[in-house]
Amino acid sequence: MKKAVKKKAYYEYRIRYKDPITHEYKEKSKRGFTSSIETQIAAAEEEKRILEGFEVNEKVYTLESFLTNWLLEYKKGSVRKNTYLVHERNIQNHIIPYFQNLLLKDLKPIMYQNFLNHLTDKGYSKRTVEIVHGTVYNAMNKAYWLFFMMLIETGMRKGEAAALQWTDVDLKEKTISINKTLDFDPKENEDLFGDTKTHKSKRIITISQSLTNALQFHLKYQNQNKLALNDFYNHDLNLVLCRNDGNVMPKSTLFNSFARKLKKAGLPQLSIHSLRHTHAVLLLESGADMKYIQERFGHGSMGITADVYAHVSKKLEQGNLQRYEDYSEKLFQSK
């Protein structure tokens, strides 16, 4: 939970926190205070109310109330009408009637597996069971966030990230082996995996502790998902980043999800490949040299890296110059 106090003609506080139920970041603010002390006291009291609310929510939040809140707050108006109606029908016709007043904290993998078995025993098709499960999975796990995090933190191409299998990941050593790419539109299943862009694109890279932690959590969640889906899960692919049933993530869904996140953040529309450039910016800002960037990005030649370096360096220079101009303007105005 982060707290900030700002002074303008008045004092105000902003509290940014992560909801433990929905895993969404939220913000509360209040303005109009006459002193910093008054603002800090009010902010501390509000923080206490937020934390106490979390404790209550975790104890009394039912699966029904959680899914209803998720549907109204996070899906209505952000997905197509037909998609919204599918989620709504799954919740009202299948999930709530089975679990009834079950508390969210009491939901266990074995209980969920029994629910999926119940749907099968009732005569529903495999596809219907997958669709119902998709609603629960989508609500419990913010889809595709890890895919985008992976691109930002590693600079991988989207096909390289989509092709990752758990045998390519060493969580203990905090490394990832990039040795293939994924064709999102293969003619045959045998053509799903292909060679990397160049020979030098095959590489082993180190990953941050934050990405390692995220992957460890994801692996635990995915294992529970495999247990729950059992034969409905595609175990053969062994993908790290995949659909809830273990199959490849559709390219169109990835693009749409990324576009929605950009819109929600108030950013212009960009390609997913731009996240690779974002990683380059972060590396350059941290002082990484060109040789390291070339090896990490799997560039075939130093010339490609130099082009990226020059492009990004120009943007960094413009940003630094603008910050200097803003600073000097304020400095001279104050004298």
Q: Which pLDDT score, from 0 to 100, does residue 335 have? A: 43
Q: How confident is the model at residue 102 (pLDDT cuts 50, 70, 90)?
A: confident
Q: Does residue 56 surpass a pLDDT of 70?
A: no
Residue ranges of domains in the chain, CATH in brackets = 2-60 (no CATH), 63-140 (1.10.150.130), 145-272 (1.10.443.10)
Q: How confident is the model at residue 305 (pLDDT cuts 50, 70, 90)?
A: low
Q: Which pLDDT score, from 0 to 100, does residue 141 have? A: 59
Mean pLDDT of the 304-316 span: 61
What is the per-residue pLDDT across 233-267, written as a single tens digit (0 to 9) for each?
889 999 999 987 888 988 888 888 788 777 777 77
Radius of gyration of the chain from its Cα atoms, rounded to whole angstroms: 24
Query: Does the pTM exceed 0.75?
Result: no
Q: Which pLDDT score, from 0 to 100, does residue 122 have? A: 93
Q: Which pLDDT score, from 0 to 100, does residue 211 have? A: 87
Q: Does residue 54 surpass a pLDDT of 50?
A: no
Q: Does residue 153 surpass a pLDDT of 80?
A: yes
Q: Which pLDDT score, from 0 to 100, does residue 318 have? A: 60
Pairing label, strands 25-33, 181-182: unpaired
What is the chain's mean pLDDT, rounded? 78
How far apart are the C-alpha atoms of 65 and 63, rounded to whole Å? Answer: 6
> Which of 16-20, 123-127, 250-254, 260-264 is the least confident region?
16-20
How far apart are the C-alpha atoms of 160 and 147, rounded to whole Å? Answer: 11
- What single letter denotes the amino acid at residue 220? K
Query: Most confidently modeled of 144-158, 167-181, 207-221, 304-318?
Result: 167-181
Q: Which pLDDT score, from 0 to 100, does residue 158 have? A: 92
Query: Which residue's structure tokens are 């995090």?
Result: 149
Mean pLDDT of the 113-128 span: 90
Q: Does residue 316 surpass a pLDDT of 50?
A: yes
Q: Does residue 83 surpass a pLDDT of 80?
A: yes
SS (H, E, C) the chain: CEEEEEECCCEEEEEEEECCCCCCEEEEEEEEECCHHHHHHHHHHHHHHHHHHHHHHHHHCEHHHHHHHHHHHHHCCCCCHHHHHHHHHHHHHHHHHHHCCCEHHHCCHHHHHHHHHHHHHCCCCHHHHHHHHHHHHHHHCCCCHHHHHHHHHHCCCHHHHHCCEHHHEECCCCEEEECCEECCCCCCHHHCEECCCCHHHCEEEECCHHHHHHHHHHHHHHHHHHHHHHHHCCCCCCECCCCCCCCCCCHHHHHHHHHHHHHHCCCCCCCCCHHHHHHHHHHHHCCCCHHHHHHHHCCCCHHHHHHHHHHHHHHHHHHHHHHHHHHHHHHHHCC
